């Protein structure tokens, strides 16, 4: 046991000696390092040169078509065939769809025939009404003539009766020698022959006196009889006309026919309304036929984005039919009346002149101007372009606000509640149709550039409040602080407008502890 203890003691002593040696060596090294310490700050420097500088704004934009062209027809037409398919590349002038013009031509012919039937019906009705009015006019004239004859005959008859009242129907003519003969008979008379004498006197009187008819009275009586006959005939005609009822409204006023003609005008106005409708229908049908077209042609090069029609459909919306008052009057089949809608039959996106769109906040939008050149990178394919439009209305990224302002497009690669302004850029180069509308494309906008200026590495500049400064190596390898005026800034360099010159040696990535006048040493000095 004693031997074991001795061995342990020896091992412990060796360990103590080793640890003491290490401690003394470390202490000696620290003492040496402290006595030979270099307080200078190690820095890296670079010599300023002149060159060109470019400032870029990097963003991701959405690929948009150069234009969106909706194809439709002026009037609604039936689609016979669709010649394109979705996402097909087409050229301006290509036939997109075949349309039916015959249906509109048939409707035009039907409208013409309807108008002609109405005109024929009106002409027939007008002729019948005129014939009726002419007959009524003739009856009225006959009635007036008969009434005039009746009144004239009655007046003449009354005059004749008055005249006849003053005339004697007949007169007695006595022979001139009657007195002499009467005296002779009386003279020769005696009592014995008295009876005979009286008889002779009477006989002589009868022979000498004669009743003679008054010729003027007879003529007046004959004329009275004639006038009464005329009055009777005229009265019969008047009573016959009144009994028939056709002249019930014709004897009140001499110009009553004017009122009847006025009623005819009212009838014409009533019947003319269907004619006006028929003419309007014909004009509309002719207008539709003249504006119809056999085909829908592509207005621009591009990609077929939407097809909203199929064979049998109608362009501009579905067709509706209505039966007009004229058609109901004639009992005709109704004509189709098409009501065009705003739905596009075929929509083409112009992908031969694509654009890139993104939305920028107030600060970024203020740096971007129309006409600035742009470089694009789309999956390794490079394109060029320009800023072609900078919006004038900013909107928040709320979809409702964008819709209210009629702004189309996504808000870009970042979301912010800050109002955004639309920036639109052209894309130029080869293979433009290979760009997928709606996908993203990387854009590099050249904000500014300058040629042959003093270039300062970006990592050398520091900022303190509104002051920009750098450090250079001055005399005796002491750091010297200089205030500068920066200009254009790129990812790597900054344009120095004032404060530095070409050839100056400046400190890059100066540590935060570096102060003006501190000793420094370059890393290359070892």
**Model pLDDT for residues 172-188, shown as the tens digit of each residue:** 667 777 677 777 777 77
Residue 102 and residue 95: Cα distance in Å, rounded?
Answer: 19
Give the range among 11-15, 33-37, 297-301 with minimum mean pLDDT.
33-37
- How far apart, in Å, are the Cα atoms of 41 and each of 37, 116, 353, 407? 12, 110, 58, 57
Judge whether residue 57 has pLDDT over 90.
yes
Confidence band of 1 (pLDDT split at 50, 70, 90): low
Specify whether the CB–CB gap between 98 and 83 falls below 8 A.
yes
Average pLDDT in the chain = 80
pLDDT of 355: 97
Please give the average per-residue pLDDT across 152-167, as a whole number. 76
Is residue 510 within 8 Å of residue 522, measured between CB atoms?
no
Phi/psi at 102 (5° precision): -65, -35
Quick one: pLDDT at residue 458?
92
Q: 242 or 267: which carries more pLDDT confidence? A: 242
Say what the pLDDT of residue 141 is.
85
At 351-360, the pLDDT tens digits run 999 999 999 9
Could you give the C-alpha distances from 238 to 146, 148, 157, 229, 256, in angstroms and in order? 6, 10, 19, 14, 18
CB atoms within 10 A of CB 521: 15
pLDDT band at 407 (very low <50, low <70, confident <90, very high): very low
The label of the residue with tokens 């005796």 reads 476
**Strand extents, DSSP E, 129-270:** 170-174, 209-213
Higher pLDDT, 375 or 319: 375
User: Predicted confidence band at 144 (pLDDT cuts at 50, 70, 90)?
Assistant: confident
Flag whether pLDDT at 78 surpasses 90. yes
pLDDT band of 516, cuts 50, 70, 90: confident
Least confident stretch, 9-23, 37-51, 166-180: 166-180
Provide the pLDDT confidence category of residue 398 given band limits of 50, 70 and 90.
low
Give the whole-number percent of the chain exceeding pLDDT 70: 79
What is the spatial distance between Cα 303 and Cα 283, in angstroms, rounded to a whole number? 38
Grade residue 23 by pLDDT with cuts at 50, 70 and 90: confident
Residue 273: per-residue pLDDT:
84
First and final C-alpha spacing in the chain = 60
Q: Are the C-beta atoms of residues 250 and 139 closer than 8 Å to each other? A: yes
Residue count of the chain: 526
* 285-343: pLDDT as tens digits: 999 899 999 999 999 999 999 999 999 999 975 434 333 333 333 344 444 444 444 68
- 425 within 8 A of 442, measured Cβ to Cβ: no
**Per-residue pLDDT, 95:** 96
Q: What is the pLDDT at residue 79?
A: 96
Return the higher-pLDDT residue of 395 and 236: 395
The answer to whether 401 touches 475, Cβ cutoff 8 Å, is no
More confident residue, 272 or 151: 151
Q: Are 227 and 156 in contact (CB under 8 A)?
A: yes
User: Phi and psi dihedrals of 160, rounded to 5?
Assistant: -65, -40
Specify the higher pLDDT residue, 7 or 107: 107
Contact 316, 341 (CB under 8 A): yes
Contact 353, 68 (CB under 8 A): no
pLDDT band of 71, cuts 50, 70, 90: very high
Q: Which range among 195-199, 213-217, 257-261, 450-454 shows the weakest confidence by mean pLDDT?
A: 257-261
């Amino acid at each position: 046991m004693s031997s074991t203890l001795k061995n342990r003691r020896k091992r412990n002593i060796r360990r103590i000696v080793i640890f003491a040696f290490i401690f003394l060596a470390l202490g000696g090294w620290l003492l040496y390092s402290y006595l030979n310490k270099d307080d200078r700050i190690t820095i890296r420097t670079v010599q300023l040169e002149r060159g060109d500088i470019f400032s870029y704004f990097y963003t991701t934009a959405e690929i948009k078509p150069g234009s969106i062209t909706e194809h439709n027809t002026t009037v609604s037409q039936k689609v016979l065939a669709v010649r394109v398919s979705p996402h097909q590349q087409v050229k301006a002038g290509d036939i997109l769809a075949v349309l039916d013009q015959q249906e509109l031509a048939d409707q035009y012919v039907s409208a013409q025939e309807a108008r002609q039937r109405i005109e024929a019906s009106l002409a027939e009705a007008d002729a019948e009404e005129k014939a009726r009015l002419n007959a009524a006019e003739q009856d009225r004239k006959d009635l007036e003539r008969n009434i005039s004859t009746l009144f004239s005959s009655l007046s003449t008859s009354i005059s004749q009766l008055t005249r006849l009242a003053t005339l004697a129907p007949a007169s007695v003519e006595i022979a001139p020698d009657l007195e002499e003969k009467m005296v002779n008979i009386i003279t020769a008379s005696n009592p014995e022959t008295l009876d005979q004498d009286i008889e002779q006197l009477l006989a002589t009187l009868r022979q000498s006196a004669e009743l003679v008819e008054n010729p003027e009275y007879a003529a007046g009586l004959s004329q009275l009889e004639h006038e009464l006959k005329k009055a009777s005939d005229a009265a019969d005609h008047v009573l016959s006309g009144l009994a028939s009822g056709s002249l019930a409204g014709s004897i009140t006023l001499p110009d009553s026919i004017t009122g009847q003609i006025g009623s005819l005008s009212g009838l014409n106005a009533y019947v003319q309304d269907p004619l006006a409708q028929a003419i309007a229908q014909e004009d509309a049908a002719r207008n539709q036929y003249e504006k119809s077209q056999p085909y829908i042609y592509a207005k621009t090069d591009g990609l077929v984005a939407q097809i909203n029609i199929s064979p049998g459909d109608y362009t501009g919306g579905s067709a509706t039919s209505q039966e007009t008052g004229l058609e109901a009057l004639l009992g005709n089949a109704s004509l189709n009346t098409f009501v065009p809608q705003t739905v596009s039959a075929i929509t083409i996106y112009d992908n031969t002149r694509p654009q890139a769109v993104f939305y920028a906040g107030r600060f970024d939008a203020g740096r971007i101007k129309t006409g600035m050149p742009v470089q694009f990178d789309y999956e390794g394919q490079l394109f060029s372009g320009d800023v072609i439009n900078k919006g004038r209305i900013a909107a928040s990224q709320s979809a409702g606000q964008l819709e209210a302002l009629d702004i189309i497009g996504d808000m870009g690669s970042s979301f912010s509640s800050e109002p955004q302004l639309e920036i639109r850029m052209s894309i130029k180069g080869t293979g433009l149709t290979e760009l997928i509308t709606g996908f993203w494309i990387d854009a590099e906008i050249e904000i500014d550039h300058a040629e042959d200026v003093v270039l300062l590495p970006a990592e050398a500049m520091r900022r303190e409040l509104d002051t920009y400064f750098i450090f250079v190596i001055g005399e005796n390898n002491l750091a010297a602080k200089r205030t500068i005026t920066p200009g254009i800034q790129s990812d790597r360099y900054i344009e120095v407008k004032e404060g530095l010159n070409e050839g100056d040696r400046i400190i890059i990535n100066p540590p935060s502890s570096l102060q003006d006048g501190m000793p420094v040493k370059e890393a290359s000095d070892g």
